[in-house]
């Protein structure tokens, strides 16, 4: 049970969905932001963006967001959930590109504090070929999940434990996007 | 662009308007939309969280915006930054600031006891919801602003001038100026 009465059956609308239904005037711009950051026409592949979201949500120990975005990333990656698990365990040893590794290091810094993003971290990403836009988008995805994770857990929302829920949601999000799923 | 002309979050908002637009829409609804908490009280929550995240630009800006919209001005803002427990604010706002402080650490720090305490002081579900989301949103903005290494305004007077524009016209025109 969430800390406030969200006016929905939380098993039907778990995680961020309850608060978004409860307060659509704030839910709408949040969904627009998620749609642009995770699915919009940016240069980083959508799978990489979902991996960044899943990684940061894991660091914030947000069960709902981490389960959901891990499932979304797994559905978009050829290597599936085993790669997501390796990234979440340790991006430094996961079999990913040097560029994505450097961007995940930036995301990990953002999760602690914006002030932890050093010139060295940014320079390392640039050396591996990351553009200014990709560095910007990585910082904002990581920052946005520091918001959403706090929103979801700060209101004490329900997180399903059945992986099937997240796999089913992944199919919907990938085919019709965030706006039409949530 | 000249960062001195567009300090803090204003540079990144212009760099990527497709994300800047929903970010401004969110902050406009949260801090200035019709609400039982005054705009000054909501700006105070934003300023308080930004102070705890040590984000110079956001803390300076929202402290100025709060001061401009509160009868007691900057002296009250300073007292809240120093210690909400001793600041001369309502018991309800104090309880909401405790929730905001928990959110700043982690969503998981918001306990049923903190929420119950706010409710006992008269906070509604909507006020609790918006407090959590304002605090969470500033955990995003603070990281966005500092994670990109933006510079705060060089002249402290910039924030007071900006506060007049925000109080009159709101956040939406920020991308168009």
pLDDT of residue A52: 98
Q: Does A48 touch chain B (CB under 8 A)?
A: no
- Degrees to nearest 5, angle at CA A23 with B60 and A113: 35
**Once rounded to an integer, what is the mean pLDDT over residues B52-62?**
98
pLDDT of residue A146: 98
Residue keyed to tokens 């940016």 = A42
Work out the pLDDT band at B3, boundaries 50, 70, 90.
confident
User: Between the CA of residue A92 and those of A56, A86, A89, A163, B130, what are the distances in Å?
Assistant: 15, 9, 9, 26, 38
Cα dihedral B107, A94, A85, A173 sign: positive
The verdict on a CB contact (< 8 Å) between B146 and A117 is yes
Mean pLDDT of chain A, nearest integer:
96
With a threshold of 0.95, tell me whether the complex ipTM lies above it: yes
Chain A residues within an 8 Å CB radius of B29: 25-26, 29
Mean pLDDT of chain B, nearest integer:
96
Q: Does A7 touch chain B (CB under 8 A)?
A: no
Length of chain B: 177
Work out the pLDDT band at B1, boundaries 50, 70, 90.
confident
For A129: left if phi > 0, alpha if psi spans -120 to 50, otherwise beta; the answer is left
B20-37 per-position pLDDT tens digit: 999 999 999 999 999 999
The verdict on a CB contact (< 8 Å) between A140 and B12 is yes
The residue among A3, A121, A137 with the most chain B CBs within 10 A of its CB, best to mutate, is A3
Q: How far is C-alpha A45 from the chain's CA centre?
A: 14
- The Cα of B64 is separated from the nearest Cα of chain A by a number of Å equal to 22
B151-176 per-position pLDDT tens digit: 999 898 999 999 999 999 999 999 88
The verdict on a CB contact (< 8 Å) between A154 and B149 is no
- In chain B, what is the straight-line distance between the N-terminal and C-terminal CA atoms, in Å? 13
| CATH numbers and ranges of domains, chain B | 10-170 (1.20.1290.10)
Question: What distance in Å separates the CA atoms of residue A180 and residue A174, rounded to the nearest whole number?
Answer: 11
Yes or no: say if A40 and A173 are a contact pair by the CB < 8 Å rule.
no
The verdict on a CB contact (< 8 Å) between B147 and A148 is no
Question: What distance in Å separates the CA atoms of residue A143 and residue B52, rounded to the nearest whole number?
Answer: 16
Residue A119, SS3 per DSSP: helix
Question: What distance in Å separates the CA atoms of residue B58 and residue B35, rounded to the nearest whole number?
Answer: 22
Question: What distance in Å separates the CA atoms of residue A63 and residue B137, rounded to the nearest whole number?
Answer: 19
Question: What is the b/e burial string over A118-148, where b = at least 16 CB atoms within 10 angstroms of the residue's CB?
Answer: eeebbebbeeeebeeebbbbbbbbbbbbbbb
The verdict on a CB contact (< 8 Å) between B147 and A32 is no
Question: What distance in Å separates the CA atoms of residue A48 and residue A130, rounded to the nearest whole number?
Answer: 13
pLDDT of residue B28: 98
Residue B98, SS3 per DSSP: helix
A20-38 per-position pLDDT tens digit: 999 999 999 999 999 999 9
- B106 burial type by CB count under 10 A (0-12 exposed, 13-18 middle, 19+ buried): middle
**Residue A44 tokens, joined:** 């980083």
Among candidates A5, A32, A153 on the partner chain, residue whose Cβ is nearest the Cβ of B107: A153
Size of interface A-B (CB pairs under 8 A): 138
pLDDT of residue B156: 86
SS3 content of chain B, % helix, strand, coil (to 5): 70, 0, 30
Q: Does A43 touch chain B (CB under 8 A)?
A: no
The correct CATH number of A29-174 out of 3.40.50.720, 1.20.1290.10, 3.40.640.10, 3.90.1150.10 is 1.20.1290.10
- Degrees to nearest 5, angle at CA A123 with B155 and A121: 85
Q: What is the DSSP letter of B150?
A: P
**pLDDT < 70 positions in chain A:** none
Q: What is the DSSP letter of B4?
A: T
């Amino acid at each position: 049970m969430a800390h406030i009465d969200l006016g929905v059956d939380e098993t039907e609308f778990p995680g961020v969905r309850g608060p978004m239904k409860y307060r659509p005037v704030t839910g709408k711009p949040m969904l627009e932001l998620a749609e642009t950051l995770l699915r919009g026409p940016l240069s980083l592949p959508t799978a990489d963006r979902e991996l960044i979201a899943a990684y940061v949500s894991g660091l914030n120990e947000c069960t709902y967001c981490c389960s959901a975005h891990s499932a979304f990333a797994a559905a978009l990656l050829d290597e599936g959930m085993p790669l997501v698990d390796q990234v979440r365990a340790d991006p430094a040893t996961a079999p990913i590109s040097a560029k994505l590794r450097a961007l995940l290091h930036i995301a990990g810094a953002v999760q602690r504090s914006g002030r932890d993003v050093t010139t060295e971290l940014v320079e390392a990403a640039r050396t591996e070929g990351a553009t200014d836009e990709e560095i910007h988008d990585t910082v904002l995805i990581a920052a946005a999940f520091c918001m959403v994770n706090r929103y979801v857990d700060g209101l004490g929302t329900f997180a399903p434990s059945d992986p099937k829920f997240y796999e089913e949601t992944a199919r919907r999000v990938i085919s019709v996007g965030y706006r039409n799923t949530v | 662009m000249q960062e001195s002309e567009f300090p803090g979050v204003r540079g990144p908002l212009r760099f990527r308007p497709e994300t800047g637009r929903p970010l401004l829409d969110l902050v406009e609804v949260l801090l200035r939309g019709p609400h039982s908490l005054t705009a000054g009280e909501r700006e105070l929550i934003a300023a308080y969280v930004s102070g705890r995240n040590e984000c110079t630009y956001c803390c300076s800006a929202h402290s100025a915006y709060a001061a401009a919209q509160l009868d007691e001005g900057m002296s009250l803002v300073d007292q809240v930054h120093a210690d909400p427990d001793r600041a001369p604010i309502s018991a309800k706002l104090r309880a909401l600031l405790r929730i905001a402080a928990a959110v700043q650490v982690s969503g998981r720090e918001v306990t049923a006891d903190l929420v119950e305490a706010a409710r006992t002081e008269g906070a509604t579900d909507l006020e609790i919801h918006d407090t959590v989301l304002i605090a969470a949103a500033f955990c995003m903005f603070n990281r966005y602003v500092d994670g990109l290494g933006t510079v705060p305004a060089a002249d402290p007077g910039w924030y007071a001038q900006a506060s007049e524009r925000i109080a009159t016209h709101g956040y939406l025109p920020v991308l168009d100026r």
